[in-house]
Structure 1
Amino acid sequence: MENRLFYVMFCMILLLSLCSSENYFTKNVKGEGVLAKNSYVNHPPNPPIVEGPLVGLTRKAYQYNLTLIDPDNDLLIGYEIDFGDTIEGSSCCPIPSNTTLTLYHMWYNPGVYNVKARTKDGHGLWGNWSTPLTVTIMEGDTVPPVVHMLKPNKGLYLSNKRILPFPMNLVIGGITVEVEAVDEGSDVSRVEFYVQGSLKERDYTTPYSWDWYEKSLGRYVLTVKAYDFVGNQVSDEIIVWKFF
């Protein structure tokens, strides 16, 4: 009787010792009890850290940084960021935890927007949305630049020189097309030159010009387009008779 009692107490002590360690009992595919050790438990990613401007203007791109964190240090395979007007996301190549992504967004309407994000780990588990970042967007630059063709300008041009005034633009030989473009809002970003609707040149710095020296014969529509840094644009065009 004493031996049996001692045996029962010994088994109970052994069982308590096993349960208090990192080991625990589970079942194998046959349903039999087996001993498993250090079984992995996956946790969802932490809400990302979203950083960026809190005030901005419409039609202007702003940079936001998105820091992705996983408590298990798992690789992350996707993210979504809600800018309040659109949700952008990506299923991407594995990204290490604690990686910071740089994203850009442009709002087209004034208002108050809540920016938040979430991430997905390599096991397909989505984390919670981050605490919203409140962004106030005000009306921005909606006025296009002013553009004016300086050369040619109603004259007879011979080898890039204005010989005399003329009722039309008559060019013999090559000519340097010169343009004036200004913008009081976000400034001029570039000027484009077109002949018969075909883009010939982009100029990003003042003075804006293009050397038109390809051989031509006849009547042409010369168009210039000026853009500002928020996407507003304006154009000007003239008729040019060009020979050689």
Structure 2
Amino acid sequence: MKIHTTASYLSLALAAAASPVLAQDVEPEQFASGRILVSPRPGLPEAAFKKLLKDHGGNAARKLNGLNVYVVEMPHGREKALKQAMKRNPHVKFAELDGVLQMQQTPSDPYYANEWHQAKIGAPSAWDIATGSGVTIAILDTGVDATHPDLAARIVPGWNTYDNNSNTSDVYGHGTKVAGAAAAAGNNAVGVAGTAWNAKIMPMRISDTNGYITYYSMVANAITWAADRGARVANISYGVQHVASVQSAAQYMRNKGGVVVTAGGNNGALDSNAGTPTMLTVAATDGNDVRASWSTYGAPIDLSAPGVGIWTTVKGGGYGAVNGTSFASPVTAGVVALMLSANPALKAEQIDSILLSTADDLGTAGRDTYYGAGRVNAYRAVLAAKSAVTSDTQAPTVAIASPGSSVKGIANINVSATDNLSVSRVELYVGGALLASDTTAPYSFAWDTSTRADGATTLVAKAYDSSGNVGTHSLNVTVANTAGSADTTPPVVSISNPASGATVSGNVAVSVTASDNVALSNVSLYIDGVLKASGNGAVSYNWNSRKEKSGSHTVQAVARDSAGNTSSKSVQVWK
């Protein structure tokens, strides 16, 4: 498959945020040729979505398993243009390139005679409570050597999402090492013991035949495939936290009571990005509880775990010591499996909370940029998990934030929802009938109002948590699609900066806001008649006025609604 490359490298590791957010538009260094990933707003009619794609030269080739995410094909070289066109469309939730991911392994150096890391995290004491029985860990990697004497008894059927077949043999060796760190058989007088040595291993091959790269779509498909077949833990030793489609898949697993654990990265640099609460991101520590020099640090890191000299299984039946956040991640995934073995009723958000609150605080007191909440402590985590109360009776809080009182055409419905633990999904009902469901925040829907007669209609949003508690909110709107009830009210648009008559210099932060009684279609920003930026609501643009001639300049904002009404606002500034 042909791969594109871009000029700059951006970090792939992001971490959990305080509230659910869509992934940032982090452009991958490499991406698939002739395809992107697009998620329409739930409820948008398939015919309308396919027409939208066709108008821009795209075609919905297939849908990712269990997700409202389509693999969209287009001519070679049009990937970025189509992605941007889809991101600008108000009926699209997100669009991204089908980027390439590379494993987070650091080359092995010395071999060690024992597994120092198990004692460091208190695993032997945790094994007195649970050993992973009844839990399946999905290993999303290069495959697993199912004939290895320390793995063979633990293997359950998996899938190869790269080639779309059942061949999950290890093409590179990395996946066998990761699997052993998580769940190599223990107490069997052979080799090593994985952190959850009685858990099952579900091999999910996501990499190419060289074992080095994979694509966003293949990772997302592997997560949902594993979740549908009973995996409660998924380990991904690749940096995927920034990927919207993978975030959606991780939330899919969380809604089924599972947790996704990922590697924090090995570039040794500060990662200043925001992150996602859908996955746990792990940094690496050494035998002295010090961050490995090559381990990525910063706000994205949730917690840390041993990742230096980790003794584990090697493809072909052997054993060796390995380094990398690739191995700190499965050690943590093994701890999650121990927790679920001790208390199968645990919810995903409880696992997060217990892991972070029981970690051994390292570095600066409290959460810090190097260790997150601290180095994982298996014994304390399993002990807390065993006694955790899993009942929850508090319903989520939900509100329909938009549209206004009158709607026509395809209306975008935005819903806010929060919960004491977490929201698992939001459903939207129109006139008592379910329109669609959304599982990732921000919760949004696209409603084809032509399916309802003109007049009053009630919208009802229902937000569910993982315990089945439900919160509701209703909004009465008027459908006005006929000519006699056409929307004739233009949008309201304003320029908050710069002020009219101002003198500008250097970089000028131009800020535009707009609103409409029904629905905005587009907001455009012009400077001296030249289009500089556009969007669906607020528009911000950094204007480098140094390049402009001295004298007066016109900053103009134009807003258009779904009925074609327009309004504009202009300010005159001086340089």
Q: Which has the larger radius of gyration?
A: 1
- Which has a greater percent of strand? 1
TM-score, reference length from structure 2: 0.15
Which has the bigger relative contact order, CA under 8 A and spacing at least 6? 1
TM-score, reference length from structure 1: 0.34
- Which has a greater percent of helix? 2
